[in-house]
Amino acid sequence: MRIDAYNAVNQIYQTSQISKAKATAKTSSASDKFEISDTARTYQTARTAVSAASDVREDKIADIKARMAAGTYNISSEAVADKILNNISTLTF
């Protein structure tokens, strides 16, 4: 899921923590300098990829719809029951 991937990237780079810039003793510097670290570039690339990714697998949905329309989409009732029981057993109350 997109949210999980985004949270994983945030945890890796700890972007939720606010870091304070250290004050420098030199105030007579005439020019400012802005640099982006390799870590920040990697994070930006990962964030762009996560936001561009789709939550839904369109190819899989189209395949299932086509098989349903053709009448060839068969689901084992035992497999459905097994998945329901597995999901119920993992729930915590």
Alpha helices in the chain (DSSP H): 2-13, 38-52, 58-70, 77-90
Radius of gyration of the chain, Cα coordinates, nearest whole angstrom: 24
Q: Which residues contact 2 (CB under 8 A, 6 or more apart)?
A: 50, 51, 53, 55
- pTM of the entire structure? 0.34
Contact indicator for 58, 17 with CB cutoff of 8 Å: no
For the chain, the structural domain boundaries read: 2-15+37-90
Q: What is the pLDDT of residues 45-92, one digit of tens each?
A: 999 988 888 778 888 999 999 999 999 999 899 999 999 998 887 776
Comparing 17 with 63, the larger pLDDT belongs to: 63
Residue corresponding to tokens 């915590």: 92
pLDDT value of position 33: 84
